[in-house]
Amino acid sequence: MQLEYFQLIDRILDLNIDEKTIQVEAQVPQHNTIFEGHFPGYPIMPGVLLIESMAQTSGWLLLALMKFERMPFLAAVKEAKMRGFVSPGELLTINANVLHEGSGYAMTEAKVSVGGKLKCNATITFSHIPFPNPDLRRHMDAMAKRVGFPQQAIAHD
């Protein structure tokens, strides 16, 4: 997890195109300035970052389903529930599945667990558009390699 770059996902553990599901893991850093303020003497992972981790997980799934031809962007978060604290150094397991694939948008369900214990979940809506420029596509290709995205799922020009 590279919080400074807003890169929350470390590794894709499983990506099932047929079932439209994904599982990833993300290691919460032991030390980060975020924890100095959130909260002094009682560091916990901010809920908004847990939501972002579910959005990024869902994003990888949608990228796969759209064969890297379109880029999903976060549009709405519903029913986000923070069910337990996440502490520095904990390993997140994040699962997502597709709830609906519409025209230009998609909805997913996602959840974060630590050691098998559910920490949060949400229903997330994305709008998606063709990659707006080659730079972003190249960046996402590089990111995909970093997180172990199955390369056969990436369509190349």
Partner 1 sequence: MSSTFDQVATIIAETCDIPRDTITPESHAIDDLGIDSLDFLDIAFAIDKAFGIKLPLEKWTQEVNDGKATTEQYFVLKNLSARIDELVAAKGAGA
Would you name the residues annotated as active-site residues? 38
Our CB check for partner 1 shows the closer of 36 and 69 to be 69
Our CB check for partner 1 shows the closer of 41 and 104 to be 104
Tokens encoding 62: 């949608």
Our CB check for partner 1 shows the closer of 32 and 127 to be 127
Beta bridge partners of residue 105, listed in sequence order: 127
The residues in 68-107 that bind partner 1, with binding defined as CB under 8 A, are 75-76, 100-105, 107
Distance CA(94)–CA(106), nearest Å, equals: 18
Minimal CA–CA distance to 157: which of 129, 138, 132? 138
Task: Output the smallest distance, CB 88 to partner 1, in A.
Answer: 35
Task: Write out the E strands in 6-149.
Answer: 11-16, 21-27, 70-82, 91-101, 105-114, 117-130
Task: Output the smallest distance, CB 123 to partner 1, in A.
Answer: 10
Size of the residue set binding partner 1 (CB under 8 A): 11
- Tally Cβ neighbours within 10 Å of residue 64: 20
Task: Output the smallest distance, CB 9 to partner 1, in A.
Answer: 25
- Which residues are near partner 1 by CB under 8 A? 75-76, 100-105, 107, 125, 127
